[in-house]
Amino acid sequence: MSFLIELCRFLLVDWIKMRIGGIQMATNKTIAVVVTNDVEDVELTSPREALVKAGYQVCLIGMRAGEIIQGKKGTAFLIDKGIDDVKPEDFRALLIPGGFSPDQLRGDQRFVDFVKAFLENHRPTFAICHGPQLFIQTGLADQLELTAYKTVQPDLAYAGAKVSDQAVVNHNNLITSRNPDDLPQFNQAIVAALAD
Amino acid sequence: MSFLIELCRFLLVDWIKMRIGGIQMATNKTIAVVVTNDVEDVELTSPREALVKAGYQVCLIGMRAGEIIQGKKGTAFLIDKGIDDVKPEDFRALLIPGGFSPDQLRGDQRFVDFVKAFLENHRPTFAICHGPQLFIQTGLADQLELTAYKTVQPDLAYAGAKVSDQAVVNHNNLITSRNPDDLPQFNQAIVAALAD
């Protein structure tokens, strides 16, 4: 009987540790990535590698959990969570890779709201290439200093953002870059920001 | 000898007819289409069919003549002329199909200049879906009344355009539509505009 009570106590304590500890770890260590088909493959694979190497988990958020999406260059990606299954506060930071994925996501208000929650609370947000297109739909572009892919720089400037044509812009917890050539500096900046 | 002179006269007259007549016909009857990879297939094939049926020629203008491009859905298209080989005045009108083609073209100043020449002279310009993205780079958006794909409507509004969310907007020789569902009205409007 005392063995059973002891076992039960042990299991209960460990269960609480795992539950609470697990959730805390996930929130502190998990980076949300919003993504769909025709993402610029390397703008997802390269930052993901840098983040995982630095000890973070990366959660791909798309339309539906379990969906397989395909990058512009053909890479297959498994979507970990559907946008309806997640809350911004479950994540340490947000990453938006480029390609033709962001323009599709900004047509879906759920993704716009998710991104907006990070921007309006000045939580760590990382976007590269066409990623910043999503900021236009949040209505907060006029509060941002950033860079982006060259074709969308004018869109963001007209929307009121302060746009600079440089490899990395780091302002108010928002880190942005222009294209795959900027990835080394982008990856370094996002990992450093998380370590602060 | 008189036979040779007669033959020469005949050939010369016919040559002049063909040369001058041919160029006139081309200019009056040829519609320029600016396009590259990942165009929304049906936004090229459907207006092209309507225009050809109405007696017009359609000239696909891309990076290089002879290049084969591929639509988002896999259709192969042969580029008739390279952008360096054409002048806006060689064409009766301009058509810009959507998909991910326009965002790539607006990164190339030669295409922006070509489109700008149509807009600033109020020459017939037809754009559907993402096509109007090209107008932002011309710096003339604030003079336009139009519609576009839902995700790029805010970009155009921030750039100063008067944007309406309707199937067809026809204003000052600029005819625009939102997406493939609008094609029947779009095709009807562009053929009617050319017949005026």
Q: What is the pLDDT of residue B10?
A: 65
pLDDT tens sequence across B33-53: 999 999 999 999 999 999 999
Interchain contact, B151 vs A137, CB within 8 Å: yes
Q: Which residues of A are catalytic?
A: 129-130
* Rounded Cα distance, A104 and B121, in Å: 33
Task: Give the mean pLDDT of chain A.
Answer: 92
Give a yes or no: residue A102 inside a domain.
yes
State the residue range of the domain holding B51.
30-195
Give me the CATH number covering residue A122: 3.40.50.880
Q: What is the DSSP string of A5-47?
A: HHHHHHHHHHHHIIIIIHHHHHHHHEEEEE--TTB-HHHHHHH
Q: What is the pLDDT of residue A180?
A: 98
Q: Of A22, A23, A34, A140, which Cα lies nearest the Cα of A89?
A: A23
Give a yes or no: residue B132 inside a domain.
yes
Q: Is the pLDDT of residue A126 over 60?
A: yes
Chain A, chain B: beta-carbon pairs less than 8 Å apart: 45
Within 8 A of A100 by CB-CB distance, chain B residues are 38, 100
pLDDT tens sequence across B119-160: 999 999 999 999 999 999 999 999 999 999 999 999 999 999
Instruction: Give the gap in angstroms from C-alpha B161 to the nearest C-alpha of chain A.
Output: 11
pTM of the entire structure? 0.87
Give a yes or no: residue B14 inside a domain.
no
Q: What is the pLDDT of residue A185?
A: 98
Give a yes or no: residue B9 inside a domain.
no
Number of domains in chain B: 1
pLDDT tens sequence across B84-103: 999 999 999 999 999 999 99
Q: Is the pLDDT of residue B25 over 50?
A: no
Give a yes or no: residue B59 inside a domain.
yes
Q: Mean pLDDT over residues A44-49, rounded?
A: 98
Give a yes or no: residue A3 inside a domain.
no
Give a yes or no: residue B8 inside a domain.
no
Interchain contact, B155 vs A150, CB within 8 Å: no
Among A39, A151, A178, the strongest candidate for a mutation testing the B interface, having the largest count of B CBs within 10 A, is: A151
* CB proximity under 8 Å: A 87-146 to B: 100, 103-104, 106-107, 130, 133, 136-137, 141
DSSP code for A90: G
Out of B104, B137, B151, the one facing A103 most closely (by C-beta) is B151
Out of A107, A141, A160, the one facing B150 most closely (by C-beta) is A107
pLDDT tens sequence across A2-34: 777 777 676 676 555 545 444 444 668 999 999
Q: Of B98, B80, B94, B93, which Cα lies nearest the Cα of B43?
A: B98
For residue A12, what are its two tokens? 């209960």
* CB proximity under 8 Å: A 68-97 to B: none
* Rounded Cα distance, B185 and B83, in Å: 29
Q: Is the pLDDT of residue B17 over 70?
A: no
Q: Is the pLDDT of residue A130 over 50?
A: yes
* Rounded Cα distance, B91 and B89, in Å: 5
Give a yes or no: residue B183 inside a domain.
yes
